[in-house]
Structure formats: structure tokens, C-alpha cells
Amino acid sequence: MRDLLVVVLLFFFVNSYGQDFTDLVKEKEQSIVLIKTFDKDGLPLKQGTGFFIDSSGKLITNYHIFQNAYGASVYTYDHNEYFIDQLLSSSKVKDIAVFTIKNPLKKEFKFNTIAKEKPQKGEDIFIIGNPQGLENSISRGIISGIHNVDKYGTFYQITAAISPGSSGSPIYNMKGNVIGLASYQLEEGQNINFATDIISLNELKNNDGLLLPINIKKKLPKDKSSAINLLDSLQSNHDSLTILFLNKFISEYPSSFEGYLMRGNIYASFYTWKFCKIIDTLCNNKYIMLAEKDFEKAIDLAPRNPKVYLVIANSKYGCYNYLKRAIIDNWSLTGILKDINSCKQFDESYEKFSRLSLTATVQEELNNYEEELEIYNEMIRIQPNNDNPYCWRGLLKYYHFNDVQGSLKDLDRAIELKPFCNYISWKANIEYEINDYSSALKDLRKLLNSCSESIYKNHDTYYKISSILFQINGDKNEALNAINKSITLRKSYDFYPLNKDDSKYFLLRCYIYQNLELYKNALIDINKAFELTPNEEIPIY
């Protein structure tokens, strides 16, 4: 009798749980939408999933669904079609877009609630999406991993399937609250899928999706703080749409320095070069004068704000570095130092490391190497585990103070902190120049084995390897292979024909051929070296 009661209760529990989940799915699938995007010719581009987060028509999906799209349609659970009205916030990095649809009849939609607490590893989840256009398909699984990635935030590794068309689907906990956004699948892995954390959605201040070509309302947020955050997120784009937003912001907030500062920064940047031919100095002058006017207004509105002076200094230096001259007197290197000192005067702690870095760069341009060295010393005292100042100090010591050991020690420290390929390359070049061939060969091979970028696997790297092997009486066949690779790469630069500086490659190979008793090949290369340098002496190894 007792066993029978247990069986009955267990059956009731399982059946109740299954029924509850069925009801939960029926409720939630009404909040899911299918999104179809179109290219500039109106042809289908891609499709994905989205979901409502309020009753009036606010939705969430992946940013990448709208990339390269010129139009989009949203299809709700009842198969009605809607069009996108406004993009409220978006982030390409986090792959999230929040938008509204046009809802002239003020229809109320079923919507989802964002969970207040983040999920735990092993927690049950389910997804409702539109894989391959199969509307409102269900997929169940668990949170199999939680990963925090700098800049990108939190990602959940899930076992529930994500297929094309499911991007942008909500990830639900078993209470029916949304904990994540279906993002992507690792193609090399079987059933390895990832979802973006959505609980921190309120922290999303960017709206870089406003620069996408899709036909939607593009306007500033009504809140001033949100508008400034939006403009900050668009700063790196330097295009006419960003200028349009800035003009609108300045019109609405004429007493706010931020608009003038940002617009001046764009006028002084590569935005200018998009509209000016390099040789058209009058056009360059025009935009720089516009930038100067905006910078003066920003200083007038916020004369004691250190940010104003540091942004202006960076903008002026970028312009000076590009043009290699100052169009306006106070845009000279000494004028830039004056702006940097104003920043320091009003708040010495404001962006101190960044300010020192810019100061060191300007002092380098002015050949003030003692001052530059002291700045790097101070940067290292402030951030002893930052690789950059060690690298720059190391190069400064070698090229301007003849401190070879100090230079190599600093570069070793930079590589220890971050093994960047350019650090290894600079160190190898110094070792090669001081005839420390054993160390140079080790670092040059490290470049070939560890650095995927072609810039490090260039003709010069192979030439130095070959040269070292030849001079230390190393493996001649390896030396020959390296110089062959070097010459092949050098010849591949169609835009830069061989010249007298390239005679060294053929001369080195000539000596290697001679050492290998391949005299006919050696004769061909020595003739090529003479051909490239008809009126000059050829260096002898």
C-alpha cells in the first residue's frame, strides 16, 4: 500500500511538471518574433529571432542580424508583419540590439521578464527560436559553462542547440525568465553553443548600430546623459552621420562642452581627409579651423575641465603627426605641450598614464630625450606591470643613449608582460645589429613560429636568418632555404620593384652557393647584384 502511494505521487509529480512546462512554453512562444532582413535591392539577406520585453513593442535580438541590411520585417506569433521603428541601444561587441517596431494600432504584446539573478552552472534552460525558419521550435539543455571575457562581458556555454535562424532567441530559466541571448555556435565543436548575458542589459549605453544602413529612425536619446554616452560610442566612426548627431546635440544643449569637444575632435581627425584631397591644403585648413573654433568654445564652456585639454592635445597631435606640420601656431608641438600642462594643472591625476604617454611622444618629436626618459620612468613607477613603457624606454635607450644592455633588459620585461610580436621583432633587430647572432636567431625563429601576421614573416626576417647561419658557419642548406624565401617574398612586391638596396640578397645567396660549390648559380646571382648596383661597390661579407 505504501509503495503504491509512492508510485502514484511520483507519477503525479512528473505529469504535473511536464504539464507546467508545456503551459510555460505556450505562454512564452507568443512573445517570440521572426526577423527577416533584406539587402539594398530588397532581396532576402538573413533571418533570426527576437523577443518582446514590454507590451508596447520593444524587442531584443542580436546586433549581427542587422549588419549589412537595408530593411527588415518582424513577424509576430499571430503571423502579422511589422516594421522596425527605432534602434534604442546596440553593441557590436556584445552582439545585442534593442529596438521598437511601428505599432500604430497600439496593440499590446505578450512580453518577457528579464531574470534578476544570473544562472548557475548546471542549471536547466530552454530556448524558443526559429531555426531555419521553423517557427517557435523548442530546445532544452543546461548551462554547461560560464565565461567572463574582458570587453565582451559574460557568456554562457549551453548544451541546448542553436541553429541558423535561432540567433537572437531568448534563453529561459525554468521559471520562464530570460537569462541570456542565443549568440553563436562553435563550428568545430559538437553541440557547443554560447549565449550572451542579458541581465546587465541596463548597462548597455552604446548605440553603434545607428551607423548601419538599415532604414530606421536615427535620433538622439531624450536624456542628455544617454545622448552623451551614445555620441561617445560613435566617436571612432568619424562620419557624416556622427556629425549630424553632434550638430543636433549642440542645437539642443548649446551650453554643454561635450558636443563641441567631440565635433572638434572629428574635424581634426581622419574625417577631414575623407573630404579633402591630400594636396588640397585649403580644404585641410578649413576643417582644422572648424576644429579650432569648436575647441575654443569647449574651453570657454569648461575652462577648468582636464578632459577638455587632454582631448584637444590628442587631436592636435594626431593632426600634426599626419601632416608633419602645424597649420595653426598653437597646434604645434609646443602648443600641444601647453594643452597637456593645462590638463595637469587642473587635475594632475586625470588620465595620468595616458597624459604621460602623449607627453613622451611629443618630447620624442622635439628630440628632448632626457625628458622622454624621465617620463617613461614615471610611467613604470605608476604601472610597473604595463608593457608599453618598458618597450618604448628600451628603444629609447638603444637608439639615443647607446645603452644596449638596458635596452634589451627593458624589451625582455615588455615581452615577459605581453609577448607581442613587434616587441620580439625589435629585440631581434637590436641583437642582429650588435652581432649577438645566437640570441637574434632564437628570436627570429620565434617570430616565424609564433606570429601569424605576414608582416613578421617578411623577406627581411628570412634574410637575417640566412645571414646569421652563413656567418656563424651554420647549416648552409637552411641558410639557402631562408634566402630563397627572402628573395621570393621580395620579388612578390609588384608595387615596389627591385632596386640597389636589394643587391645584398643576391650577394648573400651567391656566397652560399659558392660555399655549396654551386658555382653556376653563384655567378648568376653576382651578376644580378652588379646589375642592381652598376655604379657602386658591392659590400663584401
List domains and CATH numbers for the chain.
27-217 (2.40.10.120), 218-422 (1.25.40.10), 458-532 (1.25.40)
Parallel/antiparallel/unpaired status of strands 170-173 and 178-185? antiparallel
Output 83 or 538, whichever has higher pLDDT.
83
Q: So what's the pLDDT on residue 7?
A: 44
Nearest to 181 by CA among 338, 65, 55: 65
Average pLDDT in the 491-507 region? 89
* Position 299 pLDDT exceeds 50: yes
* Position 228 pLDDT exceeds 90: no
Average pLDDT in the 351-379 region? 97
Report the range of poorest mean pLDDT among 453-462, 513-522, 531-540: 531-540
* Position 361 pLDDT exceeds 50: yes
CA atoms of 34 and 79, how far apart (whole Å): 9
**What does the DSSP assignment read for 106-132?**
--------B-SS---TT-EEEEEE-GG
Residue type, 223: D
Confidence of residue 12 (pLDDT cuts 50, 70, 90): very low
> Do 472 and 502 touch, CB atoms closer than 8 A?
no
Average pLDDT in the 114-125 region? 91
Confidence of residue 480 (pLDDT cuts 50, 70, 90): very high
Q: Say what the alpha-carbon torsion angle 260, 264, 270, 274 is, to the nearest 10 degrees.
A: 80
Q: So what's the pLDDT on residue 349?
A: 95
* Position 11 pLDDT exceeds 60: no
CA atoms of 507 and 339, how far apart (whole Å): 52
CB-neighbour burial class of residue 479 (10 A; exposed 0-12, middle 13-18, buried 19+)? buried
> Do 134 and 165 touch, CB atoms closer than 8 A?
yes
Q: So what's the pLDDT on residue 13?
A: 41
Q: So what's the pLDDT on residue 279?
A: 52
